[in-house]
Amino acid sequence: MKNRDKWITIAFLVFILTIPFVSMVRNLMPQQQEQQLTEAEKVILQNNGTMKEDADSEAPTEETVPSAQEEKQPLFTRIQNSINNFTNGLFGRTKLIAFNTGLTSFLTGGTYIESTQVLMGKNNMFFYKTELDGHPIWDYMGINHFSDEELAAIAANMTATRDHLAEKGIEFYAMCVPNKEIIYEENMPDTIARVDDTSRGEQLAAYMKENTDLVFVYPKEALLANKDQTQLYYTTDSHCNQKGAFVNMQEFFREVYGTHAELDSVRFDENATDYAGDLAGMAGLADKYRIDTVYVFDKDSADRQQYHDQVLLFVGDSFGGFLTAVCKGYYKEVHWEHPDNFKYSMYEEYDPDVVIWERQSATVRNSWIRS
């Protein structure tokens, strides 16, 4: 019995130590990543709005945060990011995650998965639950509201930015996109109770309306009004699809320009019917949950009366790709930059007529204050 326990312990230690050792060796060797996107997958992601085109090439590239930005981060944050990067590159990580989530799903009859980033809801709908990117579940529960000081700081920053750009002849607008769980609350697990129905996005929108004259678009009501007509967010992804993005941008046009178009007035092509989104990938269940349809907005179907012969600079998070995909049907030229990558010199580089500053409501706290 003792020998058996000893060999079990030795085997376990070898298994645990081998993974980081092999990972370090692989990271030192020039080779392709464990999972490479196929050309078909790249086309889907580019049309979907989740991949950008490199400035020097027509080939799509994934977003990266420049090293200069990383150097400005606190030491603890840089250490945490280094640890996260190492764990993300662990040998066999995807297979181990898939095994763990698949096992917990099997043992619970498909009602629960063990994941630090993904929450399984009803009707196979996945939600983002990480604690490293804005605490979206806390936002849904209503337990991490802005303080009065934070609201005042965001308002002062946004209005000062608007006034500064107005001197350059640039229109400036702000936009906040609701989290998926705010729109599809009925698919959230019953174990997640809401303490307060007001999310940070709603809180900020109300404050901006009451205390500033800044145009601040929060399209929650428009999304709720259209969600029974068609699916607006992916089941397996944290983002809205392009139909949802269309609803969001039409609400923007309503508030800014006084024009509006309904969903059934434009066309969407089905780019894929077996799409597995970012949440399915995080949970290691992409192969099992290829259940989403990718809709691509047909720019030629856009109402030309809504067209603006202007250059748009869209400074937004990952939702920005979906939103700018729709905007390309309504503006002469559209550029998308992530807030983490944004530099003041880009105002000169792109020479925009219109700037939209957008953030998804769960991650809105720091980025709006420091923009």
Predicted TM-score of the model (pTM): 0.76
Per-residue pLDDT for 10 more than 60? yes
d(CA 114, CA 107): 11
pLDDT category of residue 47 using cuts at 50, 70 and 90 = low
State the Cα–Cα distance between residues 276 and 234, nearest whole angstrom. Answer: 9
What is the structure's pLDDT at 82?
Answer: 60
How many angstroms separate the Cα of 219 from the Cα of each of 92, 224, 265? 41, 9, 19
What is the residue type of 309? Answer: D
Of 325, 319, 323, 313, the C-alpha closest to 359 is 319
Residue 45 has pLDDT above 70, yes or no: no
How many whole angstroms separate alpha carbon 169 and alpha carbon 209?
23
Cβ contacts of 206 within 8 Å, gap of 6 or more: none
Give one word for 345, left, alpha or beta, with left for phi > 0 and alpha for psi -120 to 50: alpha
Q: State the residue for tokens 């996005």.
A: 201
pLDDT band at 34 (very low <50, low <70, confident <90, very high): very low
| Overall average pLDDT of the 216-241 stretch | 96
pLDDT recorded at residue 57 = 34
Q: What is the mean pLDDT of residues 314-330?
A: 94
Q: Is 320 helix (H, G, I), strand (E, B) or coil?
A: helix
Q: What is the pLDDT of residues 134-167, one digit of tens each?
A: 789 999 999 999 999 999 999 999 999 999 999 9
Higher per-residue pLDDT: 44 or 170 = 170
pLDDT bin (cut points 50, 70, 90) of residue 7 is: low
Where does the pLDDT of residue 68 fall: very low under 50, low under 70, confident under 90, or very high at 90 and above? very low
CB neighbour list of residue 353: distance below 8 Å, 6 or more residues apart: 169, 170, 171, 310, 311, 312
C-alpha to C-alpha distance for 106 and 136, rounded to whole angstroms:
26
Q: How many C-beta neighbours within 10 Å does residue 4 have?
A: 8
Over residues 86-130, the pLDDT tens digits come to 555 544 444 444 444 454 444 444 444 557 789 999 999 999 988
DSSP string, 200-254: HHHHHHHHHHHH----EE--HHHHHHHTTTS--B-SSSSSB-HHHHHHHHHHHHH
What secondary structure does DSSP assign to 336-367, as a single string?
EE-TTT--THHHHHH--SEEEEEEEGGGHHHH
* 34 vs 367, higher pLDDT: 367
Residue 31: C-alpha distances to residues 25, 26, 28, 34, 35 (Å): 11, 8, 9, 9, 11
129 vs 82, higher pLDDT: 129
The pLDDT of 341-345, averaged and rounded, is 93
> Residue 278 corresponds to which tokens in the numbers above?
């970012």
Residue 242 in this model has a pLDDT that exceeds 90: yes
